[in-house]
Amino acid sequence: MTFPIQRFVEIVQSSNRVSSFLKGDQNSLVTFKRLPNLDQAIRGLLYLFVFSLPFSGLLLISRNGFIVLVAFLMIWCVVKRGHFFRRTPIDVPLAVLVLWVGITVPFSPLPAYSSGEFAKLLQQCVIFYGVVYFFQAPRPRQWMNMLLLGQLVLMSVYGLWQFDLSPTRSYPFIQSFCGSEVALTTYLLMSLPLAIAIGVYSRQLLLRRVGVGASLLAVLCQMLTFSRGGLTALFVEGIALAGMVRSRLMVMTVVVLLTISIALAGALFVIGSQNDLSFIPVKTKLTTYNLVSRFKAWQLGYEKILEHPLMGSGYGKNTFGLVTQANIRQEVDVATEAPMARGTHNTLLDISVGAGIPAGLAYLWLMWTIGRTGFVQFYAAQDPQRKVWSLTLVLMVVGLFVRNSFDHMWVGNLAAMFWVMVGLGIWPLRSEVTAEGVEGAASHQLCAR
């Protein structure tokens, strides 16, 4: 009975110290700092949050996990009497995008919906700066690397298991745990660069082998989705990889894989035009049907930009379909003519239509700055860990920008995943080393130029 009573006394004393601290007692502050490490608790929450992001079945965990994370961050700010904001090279374009979108929200035809979407954008900013601050030390980064690699392997293996050659397949599309084919292809394009970078630059032989294996699984899974937007983005990532690494082996590997992929794609188009291929999810995968459908939506989006160039027609992915396309009647024969796609199917266009041309320009500025920062960091870095994440950053931004040109997937948990990767890939302009090594490496000023 001694242990429970002693534990109860410790809890009461801790509660009294918290109360005294909140009232401004300086002596209680010293004692309060001896309580369990909040930094470790926040990292643990971020591990759980990041792992749950791509799983559609874990949406409840990701949503509630973020609420708990915010509560812990607020407690951390009170205890530390500070903030976790660290200056980065992308602060200005990110602030411009956020501020302009916020200005346009009151002018939206659906202000409640646009406000909710704007709140998600703010959530993504909190995630980004939280990751930047709490994952500068080498050991937490190593754990996050392993978590993301394991996550990628799990997603790829289950996606490959869903592939079925029979006409009466159980899964019409490969979607793994992501809930949809387009979500899976977008996730793979974000996570694959990390596996490739680890396979190239990791110091540990075992980790390099795991990175190469995860890369092969992810590439195969991406190809078997038969997503043309995903495959195009994959090819662009491969070309960027060869241009960044510039080794003869890497260039030859990329060239051979691209040649084989293009040859197989050409063969599928030729054979598919003459025969019914049971393993192709839908026949339109081998036609221009979906592309024509998207062109019609893009044309309408361009017209709406000209009508509302400054404040847009309402921020949010669904606003275009709910407002702009609400009264459009499409009297076409879907068997012979492609109807207009629902939504913009293009991130840049969607942001420009929803929040005006300034928001679209801010988005372009942001993507350019992220990619340029990764490029500068990559060639300046001597540490393999920085090489890994700088290469990951460049490949991810390039591939995702191409992918989002055919589907607007910079939303929801995938957007949160994007900001986690960016937070891990960008080093702050000013990094202070703490006693516990929370901040990690020394000052990094090169990207300020």
Q: What is the pLDDT of residues 218-230, one digit of tens each?
A: 999 998 888 888 9
81 belongs to a structural domain: yes
DSSP 276: -
Nearest to 162 by CA among 187, 149, 148, 179: 179
Q: CB neighbours (10 Å) of residue 98?
A: 18
Domain count along the chain: 1
Residue 3 lies in a domain: no
pLDDT at 330: 61
Distance CA(449)–CA(380), nearest Å, equals 13
**25 part of a folded domain:** no
**Residue 313 resides in a domain:** yes
Position 209 scores a pLDDT of 94
88 within 8 A of 82, measured Cβ to Cβ:
no
How many C-beta atoms lie closer than 10 Å to residue 302's C-beta?
12
Q: Which residues of the chain have pLDDT under 70?
A: 1-36, 166-171, 269-286, 327, 329-336, 430-449
> What pLDDT digit, counting tens, does each position of 187-236 carry?
999 999 999 999 999 988 999 999 999 999 999 999 888 888 899 999 99
Residue 282 lies in a domain: yes
pTM: 0.85
Distance of alpha carbon 200 from its chain centroid, rounded? 22
Measured between alpha carbons, how far is 212 from 205 in angstroms, rounded to an integer? 11
8 Å CB contact between 313 and 319:
yes
**Cα 277 to Cα 169: distance, rounded to the nearest angstrom:** 13
Q: Please give the single-letter amino acid code of residue 49.
A: F
Q: Are 356 and 100 a contacting pair, CB within 8 Å?
A: yes
Q: Is residue 79 part of a domain?
A: yes
For 364, left (φ over 0), alpha (ψ -120 to 50), or beta? alpha
Q: Which long-range contacts (CB under 8 A, 24 or more apart) does 362-365 make?
A: 362/93, 362/96, 362/97, 362/100, 363/97, 365/93, 365/96, 365/97
Provide CB contacts within 8 A for 245, sequence distance 6+: 200, 251, 391
Domain span at residue 118 reads 40-448
Instruction: List the structure tokens of 144.
Output: 């996050």
Instruction: Give dist(CA 126, CA 70) in Å, integer.
Output: 8
Distances (CA, A) of 249 to 202, 209, 213, 235: 17, 16, 17, 17
Query: Which DSSP category does 106 fall into?
Result: G
Q: For position 437, what pLDDT does the model report?
A: 40
Whole-angstrom distance, CA of residue 280 vs CA of residue 287: 12
Cα–Cα distance between 261 and 26 in angstroms, integer? 66
Determine the pLDDT at residue 226: 85
Query: For the chain, how many residues are written?
Result: 449
Q: Is 422 within a domain? A: yes
Other Cβ atoms within 10 Å of 299 Cβ, number? 11
Query: Residue 94 corresponds to which amino acid?
Result: L
Query: According to the model, what pLDDT value does residue 286 have?
Result: 66
What is the structure's pLDDT at 74?
94
Residue in 35, 437, 62 with CA at minimum distance from that of residue 70: 62
Q: pLDDT tens for residues 304-316?
A: 999 999 999 999 9
Query: Is residue 46 domain-resident?
Result: yes
